[in-house]
């Protein structure tokens, strides 16, 4: 019988802080689901301005009674706020009811003009945004760790090549699952001591990875759910994994992980050799094959 344990492991960030390895993705999850996650043992809560539920996350934290220092709260700067980073952060903190966030991410490397169809500024880029956030990070105490999300190797290189940037992102939050393993990006992040945080670990909307016989058969052999298999695979890759669910039973089971046998781990690593690479989230933003 496979031994499942509630995952309370943490990983060390490049700034010295530690981050829980299995977190809870709060997108479109109401306060009751977030509270269920906290009661189940999750200590990392991942939200964003665009999710429009930072208030619910804050309410759940207060209702849980869990001391603030035991929690790791992540939120994100939305595309249209790139020219007003501290004001946007302050709005998030007010909704969350917190004095600081443990990790603040640039949600996408796009500085978009409010009210347009993704039209970007010609006088401002994500490099300017990161420099503005770096100043807030260094001077205010409102951000414990600074990171990015959905950044490619080329975009991370743009940050590192700027002479005014000396804070290496602690995290790059990316879509990651067995059909989007992104080996080049993962190797690059490891070389720069940037931790990968995996969203959509079950394949995103509809949990599409559950339809593959290789996944369901392997889960059956271990006596675990397909979700537990995929989350455990992500943990074994040494990524931070943030599954999302609004169903209490799934919330409770998703934090329980195990170690895959080497052959099974490798079989999931190479699943895209059979079925191809599938990016589920905002594919229009990426050039095919871009990492």
- Complete DSSP assignment for 124-178: --HHHHHHHHHHHHHHTSSEEEEEEES--HHHHHHHHH-TT-----SEEEEE-BT
| pLDDT digit string, tens, across residues 127-144 | 999 999 999 999 999 999
Mean pLDDT, the chain, whole residue set: 96
The residue-averaged pLDDT of 37-60 equals 98
Nearest CA to 272 out of 209, 218, 202 is that of 209
Is pLDDT at 23 greater than 90 in this prediction?
A: yes
Whether 51 sits among the annotated catalytic residues: the reply is: yes
> Does the residue 144 lie in any domain?
yes
Is 143 strand, coil or helix?
strand
Predicted confidence at residue 288, as pLDDT, reads 83
Q: How many domains is the chain built from?
A: 1
Tell me the pLDDT band of 181, cut-offs 50, 70 and 90: very high
> Does the residue 240 lie in any domain?
yes
Predicted confidence at residue 210, as pLDDT, reads 94
- Annotated binding site, which residues? 107
Predicted confidence at residue 1, as pLDDT, reads 75
> Does the residue 121 lie in any domain?
yes
Predicted confidence at residue 223, as pLDDT, reads 97
Predicted confidence at residue 283, as pLDDT, reads 83
Predicted confidence at residue 287, as pLDDT, reads 86
> Does the residue 127 lie in any domain?
yes
**Other Cβ atoms closer than 10 A to 52:** 12
> Does the residue 1 lie in any domain?
no
Say if CB 87 and CB 95 are below 8 A apart. no
CATH of the domain at 116: 3.20.20.100
> Does the residue 253 lie in any domain?
yes
> Does the residue 93 lie in any domain?
yes
Is pLDDT at 151 greater than 90 in this prediction?
A: yes
Least confident window among 19-23, 25-29, 200-204:
200-204
What pTM, to 2 d.p., does this model score?
0.96
Predicted confidence at residue 289, as pLDDT, reads 83
- Annotated binding site for substrate, which residues? 107
Is 82 strand, coil or helix?
coil
Predicted confidence at residue 24, as pLDDT, reads 98
Task: Write the DSSP symbol of residue 101.
Answer: E
> Does the residue 290 lie in any domain?
no
Predicted confidence at residue 284, as pLDDT, reads 83
| pLDDT digit string, tens, across residues 193-233 | 999 999 999 987 777 899 999 999 999 999 999 999 999 99
Predicted confidence at residue 12, as pLDDT, reads 98
Catalytic residue among 42, 51, 199, 212: 51
Structure tokens at 130: 């990161």
The residue-averaged pLDDT of 6-10 equals 97
| pLDDT digit string, tens, across residues 233-288 | 999 999 999 999 999 999 999 999 999 999 999 999 999 999 999 998 888 888 88
Give residue 76's domain range.
7-285
């Amino acid at each position: 019988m496979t031994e499942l344990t509630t995952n309370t492991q943490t990983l060390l960030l490049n700034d010295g802080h530690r981050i829980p390895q299995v977190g809870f993705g709060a997108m479109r999850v109401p306060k009751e689901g977030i509270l269920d996650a906290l009661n189940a043992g999750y200590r990392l809560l991942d939200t964003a301005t665009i999710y429009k539920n930072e208030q619910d996350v804050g309410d759940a934290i207060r209702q849980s009674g869990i001391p603030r220092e035991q929690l790791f709260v992540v939120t994100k700067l939305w595309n249209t706020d790139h020219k007003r980073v501290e004001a946007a952060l302050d709005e998030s903190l007010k909704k969350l009811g917190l004095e600081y966030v443990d990790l603040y991410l640039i949600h996408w490397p796009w500085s978009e003009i409010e009210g347009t169809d993704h039209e970007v500024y010609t006088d401002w880029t994500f490099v300017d945004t990161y420099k503005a956030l770096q100043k807030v990070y260094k001077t205010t105490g409102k951000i414990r760790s600074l990171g990015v999300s959905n950044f490619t190797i080329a975009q991370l290189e743009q940050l590192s090549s700027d002479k005014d940037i000396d804070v290496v992102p602690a995290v790059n939050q990316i879509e990651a699952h067995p059909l989007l393993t992104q080996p080049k990006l993962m190797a690059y992040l490891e070389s720069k001591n940037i931790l990968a945080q995996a969203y959509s670990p079950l394949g995103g909307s509809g949990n599409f990875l559950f339809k593959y016989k290789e996944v369901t058969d392997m889960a059956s052999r271990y006596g675990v759910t397909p979700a537990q298999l995929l989350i455990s695979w992500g943990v074994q890759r040494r990524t931070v994994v943030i599954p999302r669910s609004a169903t209490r039973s799934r919330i409770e089971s998703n934090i329980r992980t195990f170690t895959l046998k080497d052959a099974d781990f490798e079989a999931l690593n190479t699943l895209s050799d059979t079925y191809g690479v599938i990016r589920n989230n905002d594919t229009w933003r990426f050039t095919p094959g871009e990492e």
